[in-house]
Amino acid sequence: MSLNNLADLFHDELRDILSAERQLIEAIPKMAKMAASDELKDAFEKHLEQTIVQATRVEQAFLDTGMPARAKTCEAMKGLIKEASSMMEEKAAPEVMDAALIACAQKVEHYEIATYGTLCTWAKLLGYTEALELLKLNLNEEEETDEALSVIAETVNSEAQA
């Protein structure tokens, strides 16, 4: 794909985040299964439900651009998931594994927050009002998830410190 203008770049990044969300739909259940903390497990399960909806919103955002909803492999998410998978193979006390899972999940959230923030800025500039509203919903949910993980981390990190 040729990137000749901001609309091309927006579409390319939208394809990337669609791939990221789809990759997460596959990865989150594995993280939930590894979590020892019921609160963390519940947070992962809730975010899986949100992620499924977020992927659908991204697909809907394509409609506002007039372009087809086709993903392109998000290499950044692929790397973040690979890092999390590697961490889950480590031998660790349950509390330490939970701390590691939260760290991995927050890296993912921060990537998504950055991406959705950028996409919202571009959608506004390009006049993609429907896409903007959909992407703002995703951004808000990613920020809420990051905050929830930070709250859970306070307890988990204290337990892992012992």
pTM given for the model: 0.95
Q: Tell me, what's the pLDDT at 162?
A: 76
pLDDT (tens place) for every residue of the chain, 162 residues total: 689 999 999 999 999 999 999 999 999 999 999 999 999 999 999 999 999 999 999 999 999 999 999 999 999 999 999 999 999 999 999 999 999 999 999 999 999 999 999 999 999 999 999 999 999 999 999 999 999 999 999 999 999 997
Kindly list the distances between the CA atom of residue 24 and the CA atoms of 96, 124, 161, in Å, as whole numbers in the listed order. Answer: 22, 26, 29
Please say whether the beta carbons of 40 and 102 come within 8 A. Answer: yes
Please say whether the beta carbons of 11 and 58 come within 8 A. Answer: no
Question: Rounded distance, CA 160 to CA 153, Å?
Answer: 10
Torsion of CA 111, 87, 20, 156, to 10 degrees: -60
Question: Rounded distance, CA 124 to CA 112, Å?
Answer: 18
For the chain, domain boundaries? 6-161
- 6-161 has which CATH code? 1.20.1260.10
> Helix, strand, coil proportions of the chain in percent (round to 5)?
85, 0, 15
Please say whether the beta carbons of 105 and 83 come within 8 A. Answer: no
Closest C-alpha among 77, 61, 68 to residue 137: 61
Q: Tell me, what's the pLDDT at 1?
A: 65
